[in-house]
Chains A and B, each alone.
Chain A
């Protein structure tokens, strides 16, 4: 508990001190798209840039193509569900620059039913990560070449990594599945 309090204190103390303009990523994005950044955060030496939904592909393009930034490697795309927030869905991109050896985290918040544009045109490896985010959290990516479920079967209902999805699966799902797929279920 003591550690937790200490950690929170540290965070509160650190936050106002960070000068975000020293990061070339922030500077470049601000220079080119002044209204794109919603929020900046620096925690445990990791930079987070929250970007407006409509700007994500433009910012991605800038990060990749600017020679001083050279973010050429997409590490991961994660979907996170925050049911209590006004915009409950969040897409988290982790991007890495192999030449500069730095990493930046981009975030986009989405309201229920909103779509975000796919970054496959910038980093082709986004294809599978976005399919996974769709499969697990139900985030819809527009302009995606092939948005299907990837880990779960095609006929699966619901998105398991949402917070309202029960850990054991939806109630009655097991019986329903067995009835559909096992012809002699009623005779058991």
Chain B
């Protein structure tokens, strides 16, 4: 190479070009593009935790992505094998710590299915109420951080204002704001406190108007549209093959919501619409979650109506030393991020023989490399936001 460059240099000098011009010409002739490997994370703020991506770049386009996870691995499944069924509930809080009631919900339903426990109806409604509030708070945090990542700062402040209201409700009912541990096998820990339902009603009144506020900022905002429309596209077939579930796959036009498809708890008695949009891109996933917040609000209202009218026990008769029969169940629920499944193997003792947790974020993350292939580096951040991963859930 050096010999060739020297020759070129001599030739150009002989032509009488200036020295600066010569340098530039040689550079133009000899420059080669090559893949550049960029490390993103695990401390990058837009990865929402400790996600590490290794991006192979061709210019600013992404040709390959490798995902490195495990920085938040706490061995929940191993810990669960050494704990009784009741003691595992607080562990499930720490999976998706942004929507802990939803995580508790899946677990207690799985155990109840295994043991064949009938839960009082009032308890079911309370559970659904809390799980839907958790969905709202999870989606609010998602919208806040997703918009902040893409550059819309104000939405962050607005969303956190409403999320604070939901967390206050959690605190009022359970004493905890994030890790609530409110659900029990066979019901909930205790009935809702006095005045709680009024506060929930107040929230349901305010919330749709607040969604209108977010819409004013985002819905047809030109910058928001150009950052999200046609970005990180994935088709329905590919999404399903790669394990996408929940709002992420509903953004690709697949009408699949486990609350409707395989109704559990009292979801078959509640009236709500499944949010499906077929844009396949980041914007469609935004529309899905936006609509889901409103639908959840509708469900919460129906639950409040029921709970105001009725009274009754909130706990089934479950023995303190709880030993479900030997056998195995897999129970899947629709968590805010997608399908949450608990696979419990019981050997008839008071501890599970094996507890496998299938978390939505883990499965959703598999599809990320496919989504961002050929996109710009800045779009990776939009794509990570659009599948809404929580690393506590990915690493368990």
Interface residues of A (CB under 8 A from B): 1, 3-4, 7-8, 10-11, 43-44, 46, 48, 72-76, 78, 80-81, 92, 94, 96, 98, 101, 103, 105, 123-125, 127-128, 136, 149-153, 160-161, 165, 167
- Residues on B with beta carbons closer than 8 Å to the beta carbon of A81: 354
Whole-angstrom distance from the CB of B313 to the nearest CB of chain A? 18
Whole-angstrom distance from the CB of A41 to the nearest CB of chain B? 9
Interface: B330 (CB within 8 A)? yes
Nearest A residue to B82 via CB reads A167
**Apart from A98-B256, A125-B242, A161-B81, what 18 extra A-B contacts exist at CB < 8 Å?**
A1-B319, A11-B326, A46-B329, A75-B330, A75-B358, A76-B356, A78-B354, A78-B356, A80-B354, A80-B356, A94-B330, A98-B254, A127-B366, A128-B363, A128-B365, A136-B77, A161-B78, A167-B79
- Residues on B with beta carbons closer than 8 Å to the beta carbon of A44: 113-114, 116, 327, 329
- Residues on A with beta carbons closer than 8 Å to the beta carbon of B281: none
Point out the residue from A3, A43, A76, A123 that lies within 8 Å of B241, measured CB to CB: A123
Contact yes or no, A151 B73, CB < 8 A? yes
Contact yes or no, B241 A8, CB < 8 A? no
Whole-angstrom distance from the CB of A148 to the nearest CB of chain B? 10
18 chain-A/chain-B pairs, Cβ below 8 angstroms: A4-B324, A7-B327, A8-B326, A8-B348, A73-B243, A75-B358, A76-B356, A80-B353, A92-B356, A94-B343, A98-B261, A125-B363, A127-B366, A136-B77, A151-B70, A151-B396, A152-B70, A161-B77
A164 to B396, CA, bound (A): 21
Interface: B195 (CB within 8 A)? no
Query: How many residues of chain B are within 8 Å of chain A by beta carbon?
Result: 48
A42 to B218, CA, bound (A): 50
Point out the residue from B113, B245, B325 that lies within 8 Å of A11, measured CB to CB: B325
Contacts A3-B319, A74-B243: A150 and B70 contacting too (C-beta < 8 A)?
yes
Contact yes or no, B70 A153, CB < 8 A? yes
A130 to B148, CA, bound (A): 35
A10 to B114, CA, bound (A): 13
A153 to B68, CA, bound (A): 10
- Residues on A with beta carbons closer than 8 Å to the beta carbon of B243: 73-74, 123-125, 128
- Residues on B with beta carbons closer than 8 Å to the beta carbon of A151: 69-70, 73, 395-396
Whole-angstrom distance from the CB of B275 to the nearest CB of chain A? 16
Contact yes or no, A78 B343, CB < 8 A? yes
Nearest A residue to B318 via CB reads A3
A150 to B326, CA, bound (A): 31
Interface: B345 (CB within 8 A)? yes
Interface: B7 (CB within 8 A)? no
Q: Mark B45-88, 1 if CB is under 8 A from A, else 0.
A: 00000000000000000000000011001010111011000000
Nearest A residue to B323 via CB reads A4
Interface: B339 (CB within 8 A)? yes
The A-contacting residues of B in range 194-242, CB under 8 angstroms, are 240-242
Contacts A4-B323, A94-B341, A151-B395: A128 and B354 contacting too (C-beta < 8 A)?
no
Interface: B262 (CB within 8 A)? yes
Interface: B162 (CB within 8 A)? no
- Residues on A with beta carbons closer than 8 Å to the beta carbon of B345: 80
- Residues on B with beta carbons closer than 8 Å to the beta carbon of A74: 243
Contact yes or no, B241 A124, CB < 8 A? yes
- Residues on A with beta carbons closer than 8 Å to the beta carbon of B327: 7, 11, 43-44
Contact yes or no, B366 A128, CB < 8 A? yes
The 3 nearest A-B residue pairs measured at CB: A7-B325, A125-B243, A78-B356
Contacts A75-B332, A76-B356, A78-B354: A98 and B240 contacting too (C-beta < 8 A)?
yes
Whole-angstrom distance from the CB of A163 to the nearest CB of chain B? 8
A44 to B109, CA, bound (A): 13
Contact yes or no, A1 B242, CB < 8 A? no
A124 to B262, CA, bound (A): 24
A44 to B70, CA, bound (A): 34
Q: Mark B316-353, 1 if CB is under 8 A from A, else 0.
A: 00010001111111101000000101010100100001
A5 to B297, CA, bound (A): 43
Contact yes or no, A76 B240, CB < 8 A? no
- Residues on B with beta carbons closer than 8 Å to the beta carbon of A105: 330
Whole-angstrom distance from the CB of A99 to the nearest CB of chain B? 9
A96 to B341, CA, bound (A): 12
- Residues on B with beta carbons closer than 8 Å to the beta carbon of A161: 77-78, 81, 354
- Residues on A with beta carbons closer than 8 Å to the beta carbon of B326: 8, 11
Interface: B142 (CB within 8 A)? no
Contact yes or no, A1 B323, CB < 8 A? yes
- Residues on B with beta carbons closer than 8 Å to the beta carbon of A96: 332
A103 to B330, CA, bound (A): 9
- Residues on A with beta carbons closer than 8 Å to the beta carbon of B114: 44
| Central interface residue in A3, A10, A150, by most chain B CB within 10 Å | A3
Contact yes or no, A92 B343, CB < 8 A? yes
